[in-house]
Amino acid sequence: MRRSRTTVALVTVLVIVLFAGIALCEAKGGPPSGEAAYELVEKKVENANDQIWKAVAKAQKMAEDPKQVDKAIEWVLEKTQRIADNCIEFCAKRGVDVECYDEEVKIGGITVTIDPMRVAGL
């Protein structure tokens, strides 16, 4: 019992130190700005779009089973929304606008609109 309390206390201290270090590190340097921020944002948007298309492919695979079509559609819509929200928030912190555009895909014979992203102004 004594050993597990010590372990929990040690892990708790390590987690606190880790989060404090991350917070201080970001606070000191801050997010990049200018051209560096723009390149970082472009890469982030590209990665997010890759994740979106992989999620669509996975949902299409799930929808091969007619019983899973509704579940696949619900899953892909939630997944793509989460990816887009994270990417937009990341880009906004760096002062770059990102816009979504509608793209229709077929999942289990049903047309679904997803929203990949691009950096505004491109």
* pLDDT of 27: 47
Contacts of 75 by beta carbon, 8 Å cutoff, 6+ apart? 55, 59, 62
**29-45: per-residue pLDDT in tens?**
555 666 777 788 889 99
Phi, psi at residue 36, to the nearest 5°?
A: -65, -40
Which residue has better confidence, 92 or 17? 92
Higher pLDDT, 96 or 48: 48
Per domain, the residue ranges of the chain are 1-30, 33-119
pLDDT of residue 111: 92
Q: Is the pTM of this model over 0.85?
A: no
- The 10s digit of each residue's pLDDT in 10-25 is 677 666 766 666 665 5
Can you tell me the distance from the alpha carbon of 36 to that of 24, in angstroms, rounded to the nearest whole number? 21
Instruction: Kindly give, in sequence order, each residue whose CB lies less than 8 Å from that of residue 100, ignoring residues fewer than 6 positions away.
Output: 84, 88, 115, 116, 117
Write out the DSSP string of 28-89: HH-S--THHHHHHHHHHHHHHHHHHHHHHHHHHHHTTSGGGHHHHHHHHHHHHHHHHHHHHH
pLDDT for position 12: 77
